[in-house]
Amino acid sequence: MITVKNISKSFDSKKVLDNISTVIPDSGIFAVSGVSGSGKTTFMRILAGLETPDSGTIEGLDGKKISVMFQKDRLLPWHSALDNVAVVCDKEKAKEWLKKVELSAAAGKKPSELSGGMCRRVALARALAFEGDILFLDEPFKGLDIELRDRMAELIKEFAKTKPVILITHDRWEASLATDELRI
């Protein structure tokens, strides 16, 4: 389990996170919810080791391999959808993950030729293909219709059977996928 104790973070003089404490179980979906600007992405970046808190401690992440799906897709524009996934795994596995996110037919297309929701799914496939010990998802369903969202949620639930998923969202339906929730 991951134990977060008294995390605070300010940017300039503005306090974004004020004494956050929580426990994240070893498996299952853990939602981090809150309005726009409440500090969800900042909290995730601190947990993922990409940002330093002003104070507080995090235990249980040492030596863990971390997969992150960022709020922005961060796809490599010169690579095809397939090669964007294959950045983190071999081509065969990348093909399997593209199939799971229902993008086999778009494997050869560049990000500029894909819709917003398609790019989001390439980013999801890449995060899953990396096979981390823990998965951070920052607004993973942006741009997806309800049916597609349900099917992508199944992939995330599958990962969460054995490992922790931290799901950042401001959507109540998405938060309801989680067994635990931190509202910030």
Binding site for ligand ATP (CB under 6 A): 11, 16, 34, 36-42, 71, 170
* Range in contact with Mg ion (rule: CB under 5 A) among 16-24, 40-48, 77-85, 150-158: 40-48
Looking at beta carbons only, is 41 or 80 nearer to Mg ion? 41
Question: Does 41 contact Mg ion by CB under 5 A?
Answer: yes
Q: Measured between alpha carbons, how far is 47 from 43 in angstroms, rounded to an integer?
A: 6
- Kindly state the tokens that stand for 134: 């823990």
Distance CA 7, CA 56 (A): 4
Half-sphere exposure of 69 (CA within 13 A, CB side): 27
Q: How far is the CB of 36 from Mg ion (least distance, A)?
A: 7
Report how far residue 122's alpha carbon sits from residue 101's, in angstroms, rounded to the nearest whole number.
7
**Contacts of Mg ion in 77-136 (CB under 5 A):** none
Query: Apex CA 35: angle with CA 65 and CA 184, to 5°?
Result: 55
Closer to Mg ion at the Cβ: 78 or 173?
A: 173
42 binds, among ligand ATP, Mg ion, none (CB under 5 to 8 A by kind): ligand ATP
